[in-house]
Amino acid sequence: MSMTDQQLQPEQRVHISYERIIELVEFGSNVLDLGCGDGELLVRLMREKQIRGRGVDIEESMILQCISKGLSVFQGNLEEGLRDYPTGSYDYVILNHTLQMIHDPAMLIQEMVRVGRYAVVNFPNFAHILNRVQLALGGRMPVNRNIPYEWYNTPNIHFCTRKDFVELCSTLDLEIVRSIDMTRRHVAPPFLHNWLSTETCFVLKNTPRK
Amino acid sequence: MSSESSPVAESLGIVQEHTYTFGPPSEPIILENGRAFGPIDVRYETYGSLNAECTNAILILHAFTGDAHAAGFHTPESKHAGWWNDMIGPGKPFDTNKYFVICSNVLGGCRGTTGPASLDPHTGTPYALSFPVITIRDMVNVQKRLIDHLGIARLLAVAGGSMGGMQALEWSVAYPEMVASSIVLASTARLTAQGIAFNAVGRNAIMSDPHFQSGNYYSYQLPAQGLSIARMVGHITYLSDESMGMKFGRKLQERAAYGFDFADQFQVESYLEYQGDKFVDRFDANSYIYLSKAMDYYDLGERYGGLERAAARIAGKVLVISFTSDWLYPPYQAKEIVFALMKAEKDVSYTELNSPYGHDSFLLETKRQGRLISSFLGSVYEYD
């Protein structure tokens, strides 16, 4: 299984808006965008934050679009894109709405915080109230505007909830530097995140060894 | 899809060959083996026109058995266009409406540039095996003289596949200030043992031909059988299991059923024989030996103490393309170059095209490869 998302249009890949991610990134930093798609986020980061960027994507058509925008891009699967990087070679490693498609997400996150000072990860919160209702009352796998796939054709092989992810971070000794919760296009209310967020974005870093 | 609304691609029509000669008595070239060598003829062709600022020149670097004739036709009657005609021309990826494209025959070749078949001015006879053993760097140094002669200070791109990709890499580490970008297709920073092994079989086939005569066959019969076998072996390595299966399968050439005698020929045999015979008419056996040896010797990182250190010298943008079914220059080798460049924080892009045509893909996958190259060149031309 690859984490390809061939069926997705670029605009569908965008969940947390680019603005939110751009806000998180410091001026002039080095950014690696995993699953960079058509490269639009990198282009905007270069323009608005003067970053130096590189993208990784699996799909030929996306690579072509990145190249025509003058970006540096690597075609390959995401783990492969990180394996050969020395520790700390980027300021930020971004994984935008792709975590749930990854074969070994825990390993990838550890690689991200190894290669980058910060990892920026966002993913759909499976515990959102709409999903809970569909599963609990409808008795079926949730299919809605946030996760628009049937179980048999979904590229999403590793859904998790916000709470699950926070637990994983603690297991992996990762510090959550920041989190942004979204309800669709808006910042979620500051309570009941695991019920109300459709999407969560975390900024992570390695906890310094004691 | 973004940017391609390219006009209908046409052919270049009739193109001219040129020859530039340099070397002793004025500045000879010093070869990597330390010897001063010359005079040297360089056969080259150019397509399109150089702009006033001299910023649109692209040097195309040919593979092992290629030549300077990369595009267009030599005469109105000729049936065969240049070897990369699908890639070079008006509206094509190397768009001659925009770019000034140069291609020259390599040092040691046999298609107009000085090589073992050329006459040694000191003896009046062909160099044969007294020709110096040359390297990829030597080829590049000769091209550098040509580019200087053409008055070009900086190339928009150097581009080539296979041995041409080695030259593109070598250009970008040897003369980083002269290379705005390099395009490396189906290539490697150094051949695998398997690649060297196949070259060795080719050389052995030639050298064990009774007509080889230590390379001094020019006034006698050519080592045609040996050269033909070398080409047959080479050709196998340029294809893939899948492409051979698609093209020939197990079909017989002339019979419908097996006759159980040696007159039976599978289509693949007849094809290889044809390729071998055709090759003998256009290629010199000694050049085969010299050029294959140059490829065997090639090791991008060796001179600089490692691939990463060599990569650190590169100043321009790099596009590396490999092909999934290429087992002679496998994708993992292309990725070694890319990872070295990424570690050196260079501006490098990599794609691995899914193609069944083996090593030959860079000559055949012209559409997909062409789209990537034209986008890449466009961005370099725009932003450089």
Give yes or no for a contact between B118 and B41, defined as CB atoms under 8 angstroms apart.
Answer: yes
For residue A209, the model assigns a pLDDT of 64
Residues 6+ apart with CB under 8 A from A192: none
Contact B299, B190 (CB under 8 A): yes
Where along chain B do its domains lie? 18-192+299-383, 196-291
Query: What secondary structure, in 3-state letters, does chain A show?
Result: CCCCCCCCCHHHHCCCCHHHHHHHCCCCCEEEEECCCCCHHHHHHHHHHCCEEEEEECCHHHHHHHHHCCCCEEECCHHHHHHCCCCCCEEEEEEECCHHHCCCHHHHHHHHHHHEEEEEEEEEECCCHHHHHHHHCCCCCCCCCCCCCCCCCCCCCCCECHHHHHHHHHHCCEEEEEEEEEECCEECCCCCHHHHCCEEEEEEEECCCC
Residue B267 binned pLDDT confidence (cut-offs 50, 70, 90): very high
B183 touches chain A (CB under 8 A): no
Q: Which residues of B touch A61 (CB under 8 A)?
A: 1
With 90 as the cut, is the pLDDT of residue A135 above it? yes
Ordered domains of chain A (ranges, CATH): 10-124+162-206 (3.40.50.150)
- Of residues A64, A84, A86, nearest to B375 (C-beta): A64
Percent of chain B with pLDDT over 90: 91
Which residue of chain A has the CA closest to B322?
A75
Residue A15 has a pLDDT of 54
Contact B379 A67 (CB under 8 A): yes
Round to whole Å and give the CA distance between B372 and B318: 12
Taking the alpha carbons of B176, B180, B181, B182 in that order, is the dihedral positive or negative?
negative
Q: Is it the case that residue A186 has pLDDT exceeding 90?
A: no
Q: How many inter-chain contacts (A to B, CB under 8 Å) are there?
A: 61
pLDDT, tens only, B173-221: 999 999 999 999 999 999 999 999 999 999 999 999 999 999 999 999 9
Residue B125 pLDDT? 97
Q: What is the pLDDT of residues B302-329, one digit of tens each?
A: 999 999 999 999 999 999 999 999 999 9
Confidence of residue B263 (pLDDT cuts 50, 70, 90): confident
**ipTM score for this prediction:** 0.89
CATH 3.10.20.30 given to domain B196-291:
no
Task: Using the predicted structure, report yes or no on whether residue B336 has a pLDDT greater than 60.
Answer: yes
| Inter-chain residue contact A61 with B349, CB threshold 8 Å | no
Please give the backbone phi and psi of residue B217, each rounded to the nearest 5 degrees, phi first.
Answer: -105, 5
- The enclosing H or E element of B333 equals helix B331-343
Determine, for residues A64 and B352 on separate chains, whether the beta-carbon distance falls below 8 Å: no
**Could you say which of B3, B348, B351 has the minimum Cβ distance to residue A68?**
B3
What pLDDT, on the 0 to 100 scale, is given for residue B372?
96
What's the predicted TM-score (pTM) here? Answer: 0.92
pLDDT at B3: 39
- Selected from 3.40.50.1820, 3.40.1550.10, 3.40.50.2300, 3.40.50.10470, the CATH number assigned to the domain covering B18-192+299-383 reads 3.40.50.1820
Look at residue A16 and tell me whether its pLDDT is greater than 90: no
Output the six-digit token pair for A4: 């390809």
If you average pLDDT over each of A4-18, A62-76, B21-35, which comes out highest? Answer: A62-76
pLDDT at B344: 93
pLDDT digits (tens, 9 = 90+) for A105-123: 999 999 999 999 999 999 9
Answer whether B18-192+299-383 and B196-291 agree in fold. Answer: no
Core vs surface per residue B10-21: b (16+ CB within 10 A) or e: ebbeebeeeebe
pLDDT digits (tens, 9 = 90+) for A141-184: 999 988 889 999 999 999 999 999 999 999 999 999 999 998 88
B379 closest CB neighbour out of A54, A68, A84: A68
Write out residues 127-146 of B within 8 Å (CB-CB) of A: none
